[in-house]
Amino acid sequence: MELRIESYCHKKSCFINTDEPFTESFDYETTISTCYFKAGFNLFLIDEDCDEENIVATVEGYFFNYNYIEAYDINIIDSADTISNDAYNAIVTLKNNNFLLAEVDIGCRPLICYLSRFFIYPNYRNNGIATYIHENLQEIFEYVTSDLTSLFITLPCPQIPTLDGSWENIRDDNMFEKMIRLLNKHGFKPIGKEFYYKSYT
């Protein structure tokens, strides 16, 4: 199956002064929210009969740059807390299990990813798309972020897109069990009470 990938990478906004050379602000409150960025991708299938594209998958996460965190002595937990409660709990779980320094290949693979969304649209499930993404997860996100990721951590939670463009968590035991099986199949291991992680170091 030939799909088109559309990637996106968003970093927090900052202020610039046109009277000075460009530099990011390094006051602590600003820096804790700029040591991470949101990135992801959508996959599309071209319908040749009507010359339209149909969305197949959406995958996204929050990436923490550990080189940046180390260089500016940022508290990664404070940083995660500015994203969401789930992101905060993910990073706390890594830290409580002594995974951060042990699992991050600082310099070569500096990114840590909280994988916040992994969704295959219903019409395209059971076609091997989720398996393909998992088998190429690091490589795809290297294309998206232009950097390598040492570790992915995720909270399996069924979601659905809403009409206003947001996402809603839902209770779907069958989907949840499939998510767990997929994670286990592709090398993710349980950590803490709810999370799963995969290390590439």
What average pLDDT does this structure show over 59-84?
88
Superfamily of domain 4-199: Gcn5-related N-acetyltransferase (GNAT) (3.40.630.30)
Q: What confidence tens digit (pLDDT) does each residue in 171-193 have? A: 999 999 999 999 999 999 999 99
Q: Where are the domains of the chain?
A: 4-199
Q: Looking at residue 39, what is its pLDDT?
A: 95
Q: What confidence tens digit (pLDDT) does each residue in 72-127 have? A: 788 889 889 989 999 999 999 998 988 765 555 555 668 999 999 999 999 999 99
Contact in structure between 81 and 120 (CB atoms under 8 Å): no
Position 196 confidence tier, pLDDT thresholds 50, 70, 90 = very high
Q: Are strands 195-199 and 159-161 parallel, antiparallel or unpaired?
A: unpaired
Q: What confidence tens digit (pLDDT) does each residue in 10-55 have? A: 766 666 777 888 665 544 455 555 688 999 999 999 877 767 889 9
Q: Looking at residue 28, what is its pLDDT?
A: 46
Whole-model pTM? Answer: 0.87
* 3-class secondary structure, 31: helix
Contact in structure between 131 and 118 (CB atoms under 8 Å): no
Single out the residue of 62, 159, 174, 38 nearest to residue 115, CA to CA.
62
- Phi then psi dihedrals of residue 5, to 5 deg: -100, 135
Q: Looking at residue 179, what is its pLDDT?
A: 97
Q: Looking at residue 10, what is its pLDDT?
A: 78
Contact in structure between 194 and 155 (CB atoms under 8 Å): yes
